[in-house]
């Protein structure tokens, strides 16, 4: 599904290298987790994959089902099935959450040459999905993320994911700022979407989330590289010992 080879990225405005040769292969239907100290480049990786401006790719490739992602506009990547649940969801005053979602769903359908979803079908679908995430009608009406609590913002990200049904889902610290109940809701939302045609890349600091969303592979990222990969036990090792041992191992 997602194949990243020796990806090297620096900031556009500054002479600062952030990703220094990332290699990652995610098969269809699998769940991969990335853990790593703050500032190691996890968010940068997720942004570069979804097409945010401000970065310069100086080497390597990233493909989704064989298509070079790095040549595409963000909207084209989204229509292909790439989705990023933001670490910091953006507030958009003046745009209703519902309008936002309907526009997104239909924009993607249009780009894929599919018919738009009727207003009635859309409403039915969003009501059902919102209910499982405990998102009330008021949250759907309000401007996108404006005045939402941290937990509401994260649940709103998962709602978008559920509505858009992407094939490659990247979750950037979706668990940070969530209480236990919200974490459960979010995890259930993610697990409900697990499918053999859909893959996940879960960026997190905590084993807690991975108790709910069981990963197939865990990677440790440090200083712009993936320094170690392994099974779920790697996350437990991090939880118990921190990153220090792993970092010294490779140093």
Partner 1 sequence: MAMAREKIAQAKRDAVDVRLATLAAPTGADWITATRAAAVARLRAMGMPGRRDEYWKYTRADALMQNEAPEAEVFDHDESPVFGEVDRLKIVFVDGVFDAAASDDLALEGVRIEMLSDVAALDIHWAKNLYGVLEEAGQTPVDRPLAALNTGFAEAGVVIHVTGKPSKPVSLIYIHKSTTSDAILHHLVKVESGAELTLLENGPAAARLNKVMEVDIADNGAFHHVRAQGRDHQRRAVAHIFARLGSESTFKSFSLTVNGALTRNECVIEMLGDNSFAHVAGAAMGDGADNPFHHDDTVFVTHVGRDCESRQVYKNVLRNGATGVFQGKILVKQGAQKTDGYQISQALMLDGDSQFLAKPELEIYADDVICSHGSTSGAIDEEALFYLRSRGVPVGPATDLLTLAFLAEAVQEIENPVLAAEIGDRLEGWLTRRRS
Ligand X SMILES: Nc1ncnc2c1ncn2[C@@H]1O[C@H](COP(=O)(O)OP(=O)(O)O)[C@@H](O)[C@H]1O
Judge contact between 25 and 201, C-beta under 8 A. Answer: no
Under rule CB under 8 A, residue 164 binds partner 1: yes
The residue behind tokens 């953006």 is 90
CB of 100 to partner 1, least distance (A): 7
Of 43 and 145, the one with the shorter C-beta distance to Mg ion is 43
CB of 4 to ligand X, least distance (A): 15
Under rule CB under 8 A, residue 44 binds partner 1: no
What is the end-to-end Cα distance of the chain in Å, rounded?
Answer: 31
Under rule CB under 8 A, residue 37 binds partner 1: no
Residue 39 contact partner, candidates Mg ion, partner 1, ligand X, none, CB within 5 to 8 A by sort of partner: ligand X
CB of 54 to partner 1, least distance (A): 9
CB of 155 to partner 1, least distance (A): 16
- Interface residue list for ligand X (CB under 6 A): 11, 18, 36, 38-44, 54
Under rule CB under 8 A, residue 103 binds partner 1: yes
Residue 90 contact partner, candidates Mg ion, partner 1, ligand X, none, CB within 5 to 8 A by sort of partner: partner 1
Under rule CB under 8 A, residue 139 binds partner 1: no
Of 101 and 169, the one with the shorter C-beta distance to Mg ion is 169
Angle at Cα 105 formed by Cα 104 and Cα 110, nearest 5°?
95
Angle at Cα 92 formed by Cα 184 and Cα 40, nearest 5°?
60
- Interface residue list for Mg ion (CB under 5 A): 43, 87
With b meaning 16 or more CB within 10 Å and e meaning fewer, what string describes 227-250?
Answer: bbeeebebbebbeeeebeebbeee
Question: From the list 9, 69, 78, 186, which residue makes contact with partner 1 (rule: CB under 8 A)?
Answer: 78
Of 157 and 237, the one with the shorter C-beta distance to partner 1 is 157
List the beta bridge partners of residue 64.
2, 67
The 8 Å CB, 24+ separation contacts for 240-247 are 243/36, 243/37, 246/220, 246/222, 247/37, 247/222
């Amino acid at each position: 599904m997602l194949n990243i080879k020796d990806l090297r990225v620096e900031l556009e405005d500054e002479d600062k290298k952030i990703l220094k040769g990332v290699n990652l292969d995610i098969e269809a239907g699998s769940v991969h987790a990335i853990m790593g100290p703050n500032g190691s480049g996890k968010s940068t990786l997720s942004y570069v994959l979804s097409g945010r401006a401000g970065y310069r790719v100086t080497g390597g490739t990233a493909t989704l089902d064989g298509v070079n992602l790095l040549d595409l506009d963000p909207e084209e990547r989204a229509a292909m099935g790439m989705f990023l649940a933001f670490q910091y969801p953006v507030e958009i005053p003046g745009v209703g959450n519902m309008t936002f979602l309907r526009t997104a769903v239909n924009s993607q359908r249009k780009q894929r040459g599919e018919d738009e979803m009727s207003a009635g079908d859309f409403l039915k679908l969003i009501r059902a999905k919102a209910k499982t995430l405990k998102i009330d009608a008021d949250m759907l009406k309000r401007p996108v993320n404006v005045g939402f609590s941290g937990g509401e913002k994260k649940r709103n990200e998962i709602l978008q994911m559920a509505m858009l049904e992407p094939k490659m889902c990247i979750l950037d610290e979706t668990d940070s700022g969530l209480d236990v109940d919200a974490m459960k809701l979010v995890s259930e939302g993610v697990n409900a979407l697990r499918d053999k045609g859909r893959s996940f890349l879960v960026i997190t600091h905590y084993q807690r989330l991975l108790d709910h969303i069981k990963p197939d592979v865990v990677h440790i990222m440090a200083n712009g590289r993936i320094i170690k990969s392994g099974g779920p036990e790697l996350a437990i090792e991090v939880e118990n010992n921190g990153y220090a041992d792993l970092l010294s191992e490779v140093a």
